[in-house]
């Protein structure tokens, strides 16, 4: 096998495993035979994929297939979230850079889209960043023009973010220029929701601390409201999303106040 053939094989395997991880998250369980037919590969190949994903704790092998790791369906580990709608998330992150102040203070919330956003922060601005996200901290730690302030607290391992009373107390004392925040789900009727009670307080505190709030989410977050609401639509100044969000949804959100931008 040539070097190029080996590289192509590894790329196809990676893409297939990313899709398997997405299917497990969306459906809760997958079957070896079904996956083999879907991807036109042998069942032995699928079993190797599942074993690798199990080793990485993306999913859990069971007889005949796999299930979401520890039965967590609402929110997969960050390694899985990064692969879901990555192209849309990167476009949203790039467009969000235009909402940065020339200089000043910002909060960057946790989430895969905001991790992409942090990677794109320019070096030509003097920014003070507050964040509770480990990936954001790691991304910005070597940037000389950006001062990074860690919002500490208990680490939530699924999202690699600090979320507890200590985090909330830190944020309550802040006044920042812009908050860049994300959501698990959104609808015009319910606003911005999450399945996790502990995230509500920190997100509300972030919103209260900011002079301007920019919300980032991709089309997969629209609908299917979660249990806990942390913001109504009119509390957000600017929404940045992708062009797969239905026009009716865009209009319904705009009617409630915020500017809605579709990243292209």
User: For the chain, how many structural domains are there in total?
Assistant: 2
In terms of domains, do 90 and 206 share one?
yes
In terms of domains, do 105 and 42 share one?
no
In terms of domains, do 48 and 95 share one?
no
Instruction: Determine the Cα–Cα distance for residues 53 and 61; give it in Å rounded to an integer.
Output: 9
Torsion of CA 169, 230, 25, 51, to 10 degrees: 0
Per-residue pLDDT of 91-103, as tens digits, reads 999 999 999 999 9
Report the Cα 130 to chain-centroid distance in Å. 17
Instruction: Determine the Cα–Cα distance for residues 40 and 226; give it in Å rounded to an integer.
Output: 36
**Mean pLDDT score, 168-195:** 94
In terms of domains, do 39 and 152 share one?
no
Instruction: Determine the Cα–Cα distance for residues 239 and 217; give it in Å rounded to an integer.
Output: 8
In terms of domains, do 106 and 63 share one?
no
Q: What CATH number is given to the structural domain containing 63?
A: 1.10.10.10
In terms of domains, do 110 and 53 share one?
no
In terms of domains, do 68 and 95 share one?
no
Instruction: Determine the Cα–Cα distance for residues 209 and 213; give it in Å rounded to an integer.
Output: 9
Q: Go through 145-159 and write b for each residue having 16 or more CB atoms within 10 A of its CB, e for each that does not.
A: ebebebbebeebebb
Q: Last residue of a domain, which of 25, 53, 73?
A: 73
Confirm whether pTM is higher than 0.75.
no
Structure token pair of residue 238? 């600017």
Q: Last residue of a domain, which of 26, 54, 73?
A: 73
Looking at the DSSP bridge assignments, the partners of residue 192 are: 186, 231
Could you list the residue range(s) of the whole structural domain that residue 69 is in? Answer: 3-73
In terms of domains, do 45 and 148 share one?
no
Q: What CATH number is given to the structural domain containing 101?
A: 3.40.50.1360
In terms of domains, do 124 and 200 share one?
yes
Per-residue pLDDT of 84-138, as tens digits, reads 678 899 999 999 999 999 999 999 999 989 999 999 999 888 999 999 999 999 9
In terms of domains, do 126 and 203 share one?
yes
In terms of domains, do 107 and 234 share one?
yes
Per-residue pLDDT of 193-223, as tens digits, reads 988 888 899 999 999 999 999 999 999 899 8
How sure is the predictor about 2, in pLDDT bands with cuts at 50, 70 and 90? low
In terms of domains, do 46 and 98 share one?
no
Instruction: Determine the Cα–Cα distance for residues 133 and 131; give it in Å rounded to an integer.
Output: 5
Q: Last residue of a domain, which of 56, 73, 90?
A: 73
């Amino acid at each position: 096998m040539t070097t190029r053939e080996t590289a192509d094989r590894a790329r196809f395997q990676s893409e297939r495993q990313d899709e398997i991880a997405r299917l497990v998250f969306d459906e809760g369980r997958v079957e070896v035979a079904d996956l083999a037919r879907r991807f036109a590969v042998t069942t032995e190949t699928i079993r190797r994929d599942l074993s690798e994903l199990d080793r990485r704790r993306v999913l859990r092998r069971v007889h005949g297939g796999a299930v979401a790791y520890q039965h967590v369906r609402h929110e997969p580990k960050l390694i899985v979230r990064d692969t879901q709608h990555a192209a849309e998330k990167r476009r949203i992150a790039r467009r969000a850079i235009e909402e940065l102040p020339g200089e000043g203070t910002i909060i960057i919330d946790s989430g895969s889209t905001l991790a992409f956003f942090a990677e794109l922060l320019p070096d030509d601005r003097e920014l003070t960043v507050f964040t509770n996200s480990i990936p954001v901290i790691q991304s910005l730690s070597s940037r000389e023009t950006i001062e990074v302030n860690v919002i500490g607290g208990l680490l939530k391992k699924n999202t690699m973010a600090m979320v507890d009373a200590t985090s909330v107390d830190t944020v309550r004392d802040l006044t920042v220029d812009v908050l860049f925040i994300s959501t698990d789900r959104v609808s015009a009727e319910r606003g911005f929701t999450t399945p996790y009670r502990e995230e509500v307080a920190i997100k509300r505190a972030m919103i209260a601390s900011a002079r301007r709030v920019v919300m980032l989410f991709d089309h997969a977050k629209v609908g299917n409201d979660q249990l806990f609401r942390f913001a109504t639509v009119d509390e957000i100044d600017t929404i940045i999303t992708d062009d797969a969000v239905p026009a009716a949804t865009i209009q319904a959100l705009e009617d409630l106040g915020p500017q809605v931008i579709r990243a292209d």
